[in-house]
Each structure stands twice: as C-alpha cells, then as structure tokens.
Amino acid sequence: MTLAVEEYPRPGAPTIVLVHGFTQNARCWGNLPQQLNRRFRVLAIDAPGHGASPVRHDGADPAEAARLIGEVGGTAHYLGYSMGGRLCLQLACDQPDLVEELVLIGATPGLTSSESRETRNRADAELADRLEGGGLAAFLDHWLSLPLFAGLDDVAAARAARLRNRSEGVASSLRHCGTGRMEPLWDRLPLLSMPVLLLAGALDTKFAAEAETMAASLHNATGRTDGRPGPALALVDEAGHTAHLEQPGRFLGLLEGWWEARHAVPGHG
C-alpha cells in the first residue's frame, strides 16, 4: 500500500511533508503548500482512508499509518495538523531518524487511560456507522458544524476538496486510526531530540493546554530559539483548532519566524 501524494518541486531544497486532519486531504491546506514551496520541496500526503490513497479493508492503525507516511516522505521535515499531527508524532517516536524537524498543530500524544480510549473508540464507531448510513456529504455537514471548526469560513473549510474522500475510507480511518486506537506516546516524548515546534490556536483552549503539557515532557527537544533545550511553543492569536486555515498569515509568520530565529542560534541548522 502506497499513499497518494501531491508534490510541489523545488530542486535542491529540503523536503517538508504535510499531513492533514480527519476528513481533509492533500488539497485542504489553503495556500500553505505554495508559501512553503519558496523554501522547501513540499509533499502533501493523503493519509490512509483519505483522498486518493487506497483503502484497506482492515484499515491502518496509527503506527501503521505513520509507517506508510514515512515510506512516502522519507527523511524530511514533518508538519501535521490534528490527526496528521498525531501521525507525525508517532513517526517521530517510531523512526526518529526520518524526522529532521517536527511541527505539530492542534495535536495530542493520545489518551492516557484505557477507559478514555474505549469510550473514544465507541464514539468513533458510532460516527463511522453514521457516515456509512448517511453518506459523506451529510457527514461533512455535521462534522463542519461542530464548535471545534467554528472559526472556518466556507473557503477555508474546503468542503468541495473534502468530497474527494470516500465514505468507506473515512469510516475506516475512524475505526482504525482514531485517537482511541493510538497507544499513548507521553512516556516517549522525552526521547525526542529533534527540533520541535508546538502550535495551537489561542482560542482552542483544550489543545493549547495540551501543547503546554507536551512541552514539559519534550525537554530533550531542540526547538527553543534561545539555545536552551526543549520545544518551541506558540499560540496563534484569534484562531481556534484549525489555526493554519483560520489565520494563515499569523500562522505562517510564527512558523517562518521560528525558522529564522533557529538559524540565527549557533549550532542550530
């Protein structure tokens, strides 16, 4: 199984791999790929169950999905949003040699208790049944109406691009690759030593708090721009969960500011 990818070439440049959130695909990044293409060769991947990537009848759990992403992306910078952030983090834990730099937007290392994971799995199974029973278009109407996505306008929501997905693929992702299916990675965070940037919308209080908690465990990462160990952490003003789509200018400014500041610190590439 090989995942589908949309490439924005830039000969001689380093590669950055973009991994989208649930119900999205490689065409749901707004203008970010074009902006990043000024600095990087950009690979926008269709995660398992999404876009043009093939659908396996037995699905792909988070570890397998991360492995498939690493096969396509290779050694590169990795940027993931929400579900994509979880998968990029999984890849960084499982194959750290592939991840030169890690940028996470609204991501989590997983649920810590077996009870919370079981509850989440049951809820995701019910959502998958709803999706298969009512179709993708009706499911997207429901999904995009959730408070989590209140900050998205019609353009940023990219509903037409999301309709490239298939019901069976998205349902498979829910059943096999949801947060509840992920073995929590909290205990593995201190092992990560690559540069890490944690981003969240300032209005996304749940994931902003999650980023702050993650930062305390990532004490061996090298993302800080003052030369001290630890990840960088930044909140995107006036943005919710989809911070990179709600406030693309502010998001890109934080991202590029981090890159420029890191390159100005002796010993940072």
Q: Is 269 part of a structural domain of the chain? A: no
With 70 as the cut, is the pLDDT of residue 265 above it?
no
> Quick check: is 228 in a domain?
yes
Average pLDDT over residues 128-148: 96
For the chain, how far is it from start to end, CA to CA, in angstroms?
A: 34
- pTM of the predicted protein model: 0.96
Q: In the chain, how many domains are there?
A: 1
88-126 pLDDT, tens digit each: 999 999 999 999 999 999 999 999 999 999 999 999 999
Q: How far is 20 from 28, CA to CA, in rounded Å? A: 7
| Per-residue pLDDT reduced to its tens digit, 41-57 | 999 999 999 999 998 77
Span 149-172, mean pLDDT? 96
Q: 196 in a domain, yes or no?
A: yes
Instruction: Find, among 4, 3, 21, 23, the residue nearest to 166 by Cα.
Output: 23
pLDDT of residue 178 exceeding 70, the answer is yes
Q: Average of pLDDT values for 231-255?
A: 98
User: Where residue 116 sits, what CATH number does that domain have?
Assistant: 3.40.50.1820
Look up residue 103 and give its amino acid: V
| Domain membership flag for residue 37 | yes
Give every CB contact of residue 101 below 8 A, 6+ residues apart in sequence: 77, 78, 194, 195, 196, 197
